[in-house]
Chain A
Amino acid sequence: MSQGVMVRRNVHIDLRVNGETQEASFAPYKTLLEVLREDLGLTGTKHGCELGECGACAVLVDGEPQLSCLVLAVECEGRSIETVEGMAKGAELHPLQAAFADLGAAQCGYCTPGILMTAKALLEREPSPTRDRIREAISGNLCRCTGYQQIYEAVEEAARRMKESA
């Protein structure tokens, strides 16, 4: 390993997370996942492998679902980061959150934040996705509890509720 005489110094940047800009100082090897959870206290974003093999750590980067375990935090300056903590408006749940809770889309709840963020990006792009589009959109998020069916139903229900209230 090439740690030898390397100077070990933190980087110091501004991060825009859920619309708020925060200063953060962290070791450059830290991924966005680590900085969110360990430096910003946003533990809603989960991790299941840290290798890009499960989707549990998905967050939105400039509106796109990405895996925070493979995004260098140091590369996030100036980009908009959204996590599950930013979904609800005050005490009011996002329609996706409400539908997930109502329709059994969250069992153990561990893959839930990653799927919620992924589904949010989908509905922002396609307000009325078909079942097949939903299946494709969340196919990068492994869930071991639900068999996915109630997740599709919740996304469909959220889409319906969002259209009604629009």
Chain B
Amino acid sequence: MKVIGKPRRRVDGWAKVTGRTRFADDIVLPRMLHMKLLRSPLPHAEIEAIDVSRAEKLAGVQLVLTGKDFPVTFGIMPVSQDEYPLASDRVRFVGDPVAAVIARDEQTCTEALDLIEVKYRPLKTIATPEEALATTEPRIHEYGPHGNIHRLQAHEFGDVEEALGSSDYVFEDVFFYEGNTHLAIEQQAAVAALEDAGGLVLYSSTQNPHYLHRELARVLQMPASRIRVVATPNGGGFGGRCDPANHEMVVAKAALALGRPVKICLSREEVFYVHRGRHPVLMKFRTGVTKDGRLTGIHLQTLLDGGAYGSHGAASTFYTGVLTPTTYELPRFKFEACRTFTNKPPCGPKRGHGTPQPRFGQEVQLDKIAEKLGLDPAEMRLRIAVKPNSLTANWLRIGSAGLAECIRQVVERSGWKEKFRKLPEGRGVGLACSAYMCGAGLPIYWNKMPHSGVQLLADRSGQVTALCGATEIGQGSDDVLAAMVAEVLGIGAEDVRVLTGDTGLTPVDLGSYSSRVTVMMGNAAIQAAEALKARIAEAASEQFQVAPNRLEFANGRVFLAADASKGMAFREAIELAEAKFGTLGSVGSYRPPDPPGRYKGAGAGPSPAYSYTACVVEVEVDRATGWIAVPKIWIAHDIGRVINPVLARGQVVGSVYMGLAEALMEEQVFRRLPPKLSNALVHKFPSLLEYKSPTSLDMPEVETVFVEDPDPNCPFGAKEVGQGPLLPVPPALANAIYDAVGVRIDELPITPDKVLRALEKKAKGEEPRVGPEHFPAVPYPEPVVVPPPWEGGDGNAVKGAGPKVKVPA
């Protein structure tokens, strides 16, 4: 291969280092106005009246919008379209938008916001999942099973109680993973304008222009064909721009109403409110094992703090469990989950979407199991690592699976055998693993159409243009697109012009989420490139009087495989093809294979492939203060195949960074003031200073290893790399702390005060652990019962199933 696997400057590298990458807030259009949103200062209230008259009269103000201008709701999931662009009668968290001012400049907008008078009637606030479970009235939303429960679900794959009953040991642990946020450095911005005789164009820092496109059509009640969404390069995504956002709807409406371009750029504080970040999740694992460390069954219960709206919550709830069986052989699995509404900014997808939380619990518990059984945690994991080409208890199809090799790599490179349980007091190493999906098997709304489409254009100039709806959020999707096309056509990646993320010009791609882009866009790109190549080969082969398949495409030439001296420049070959076939173009599309599971709920979890990761973290813990230092991290990732090693390594180190940040310091937490004095329930510190994210001085060295075992479902065998490597980092850190000082911190983040508290407990002879003490009673429903593949099932439920899911032909 000439392009794939070679380190290269990314195709958009030049623009990024010269300051020419045009982010949304860099867009300036003639006659452009500015917009700001008035947000609720109350966590839960009815809106009794809004008076905008004084704001409207302020010099420079062009328009004020309120909830009455937006009768239609929206939401990323079809099952929870519960958001209004501007709240009409109810606000549900501090930061819920209630009005918008459009004026000549931001300063005027700010002054006008102060002139809007809103009369609120405060309602009782709900701050935690426990409160949500206990509060039947008021309900934050009128939908959901009951009270303030948003989602409830239960699945059982084989009789788990029986499995636990016949196990040598059963471990029961409760873990907590605090919520946190993406904190992309770019604050979301959007510019809306009219074009083409009244059609709407919206430039926005969105990861998912396609879903935004659909929701805009719904909210604005306009045909989608009259709306164009252009995803500007995102100044960091991490899942934070997956949801269609209020400000995108409102700025679009304003541009339509005024016939002028309108821009909004969120303040940092607003970014914290719009976030849709990691759900706080409380988890209980009951795990049965045999004496030699084989798993017999897991019963997992999760409780999610969803915040004030549905967001991706229906999916997030599934993801707190469905990938649990993908790492190790697990004969039986029961999973119960509950997402609650609270009066806080809604949570949604952040890098790893719902899965880092249970991975933390599972991998820390495995460490405890190994300790109890007297096994080396690496050896134990090697023994039970999931096998390639297998099915899981919940009917996920595993293809390639390089977990064992990942474990061997980090064990070898970290000097695990010389360090584990052998380092001096205060120093330790910990190991953890993970698996992650390479794209969701199903789209967010039910349809049978492709998940990704790529169109190629080529002409006599020799240029090849690749169009795809995929969105460049920094991960390098534009580079992947160019590389795939270039490899097939035998040209350089820099010879492919890419145009992406524009619903007006590019074929649909569902978006940059769930680690789907490389696999899905890549497969579509290869298909399109092969089709184009076939035409070029057919035309060129006539020159040499050979069959088209005797030609090779490489180094910008088309030549005889048998005799490289007989050939022509790629450009000349295109000329021949254009002469023979007329204007040249091709398309490719991709839709993932149908999942084997057929039960209700089987749609969450399936993926064309799964990536695997193993990680070793070394720590130094100061026994007097609990202070934690991390000198080094080793990580091995089963990527299938590396496309551009420069970018792939960047994704791994960046994931390690983010995982370590969540493990050590990041937390999106809230403050409730004394209820006798105040109704307030506010984000504790919506700022880049007080929401702690590691600086260069806080980040250890990371040694990265790639395990390449190409997956047949993936383009050139390449699996995901953007999310999976985050997941093992927090549990590896927790396990390392145990190795260093013998205390268990069963909740994230792991801060020095928690370590010190646990050390004090240890000194007093108490259980050396800090973490949640109990798991509340949650009214989980009767489970959907599905026999696992090895117990004679066919992927359908046998009990509590609801209607069987239709399997597409």
Contacts and interface: CB of A to CB of B under 8 A. Distances in A.
A and B touch in the complex (CB under 8 A): yes
B17 A107 contact: no
B23 interface: yes
Nearest to B701: A149
Nearest to A111: B185
A136 B697 contact: yes
Contacts of B20: 44
Contacts of A111: 185
B237 interface: yes
Interface stretch (B426-434, B435-443, B497-505, B648-656): B648-656
Which of B17, B21, B235 gathers the greatest number of chain A CB atoms within 10 Å? Answer: B17
A93 B14 contact: yes
Contacts of A11: none
Given A45-B19, A48-B268, A101-B10, A147 B26 contact: no
B475 interface: yes
Contacts of B650: 104, 107, 145-146, 150
Interface stretch (A60-68, A70-78, A81-89, A121-129): A81-89
Given A107-B476, A108-B236, A108-B473, A43 B26 contact: yes
A35 interface: no
A147 B656 contact: yes
Interface in A13-29: 27, 29
Contacts of B19: 42-45, 83-85, 113
B26 A108 contact: no
B185 A101 contact: no
A45 B268 CA distance: 17
Nearest to A29: B107
Contacts of A48: 185-187, 268, 688
Nearest to B114: A1
A97 B17 CA distance: 5
B688 A51 contact: yes
Nearest to A56: B185
Interface string A21-53: 000000101000000010001111111111101
Interface residues of A, number: 59
Contact of B18 (A97, A134, A146, A152): A97
A88 B18 contact: yes
Nearest to A138: B696
Interface in A119-159: 134-136, 138-152
A45 B21 CA distance: 11
A148 B657 contact: yes
A151 B654 CA distance: 11
B155 to A, nearest CB: 35
Contacts of B689: 49, 51, 53
B35 to A, nearest CB: 16
Interface residues of B, number: 56
Interface SS majority for chain A: loop
A135 B697 contact: yes
A98 B9 CA distance: 9
Contacts of B656: 147
A58 interface: no
B13 A46 contact: no
B234 A104 contact: no
A150 B653 contact: yes
A24 to B, nearest CB: 16
A50 B653 contact: no
A107 B23 contact: no
A116 B235 contact: no
Interface string A84-112: 11011000010011101111101111111
A87 B233 CA distance: 22
Interface in B699-713: 699, 701-702
Nearest to A150: B650
B474 A147 contact: no
A54 interface: yes
Contacts of B696: 134-136, 138-139, 141, 143, 148, 151-152
B461 interface: no
Contact of B17 (A108, A112, A134): A112
Nearest to B688: A53
Contacts of A148: 657, 696, 699
B184 interface: yes
B185 A50 contact: no
Contacts of A54: 185, 688
A147 B185 contact: no
B16 interface: yes
Contacts of B13: 100-102, 106
Contact of B702 (A27, A42, A51, A149): A149
A47 to B, nearest CB: 7
Interface in B463-494: 473-476
Interface in B233-270: 233-238, 267-268
A46 B476 CA distance: 20
B693 interface: yes
Nearest to A116: B17
**Chain A CB within 10 Å, residue with most, of B26, B182, B187, B695:** B695
Contact of A106 (B17, B25, B183, B186): B17
A148 B184 CA distance: 15
B569 interface: no
B73 interface: no
B646 interface: yes
B16 A101 contact: yes
Contacts of B697: 135-136, 139
Contacts of A46: 23, 185-186, 235
Contacts of A49: 268, 687-689
Contacts of B647: 104, 107
A102 B646 CA distance: 8
B687 A51 contact: yes
A142 B185 contact: yes
Given A44-B20, A147-B657, A147-B699, A109 B649 contact: no
B110 to A, nearest CB: 10
Given A104-B650, A107-B475, A139-B695, A93 B18 contact: yes
Contacts of B688: 48-49, 51, 53-54, 142
Given A50-B268, A85-B19, A144-B693, A108 B10 contact: no
Contacts of A140: 695
B653 A146 contact: yes
A147 B17 contact: no
B235 A109 contact: yes
Contact of B649 (A56, A104, A143): A104
A60 B227 CA distance: 42
B98 to A, nearest CB: 22
Residue in A41, A49, A93, A107 with the greatest tally of chain B CB atoms within 10 Å: A107
Nearest to A152: B696
Contact of B9 (A53, A88, A101, A112): A101
B275 to A, nearest CB: 13
A67 to B, nearest CB: 12
A32 B183 CA distance: 24
Given A134-B696, A144-B183, A149-B702, 19 more contacts: A27-B107, A29-B107, A43-B22, A43-B25, A43-B28, A46-B185, A47-B25, A53-B689, A84-B19, A102-B13, A108-B186, A113-B19, A142-B693, A144-B185, A145-B650, A147-B654, A149-B653, A149-B699, A150-B650
30 contacts: A43-B19, A43-B26, A44-B19, A46-B23, A53-B689, A54-B688, A93-B14, A100-B16, A101-B10, A102-B9, A104-B646, A106-B13, A106-B17, A107-B474, A107-B475, A108-B234, A109-B15, A109-B16, A110-B23, A110-B235, A116-B17, A142-B688, A144-B185, A144-B236, A144-B238, A147-B653, A147-B658, A150-B649, A150-B650, A150-B653
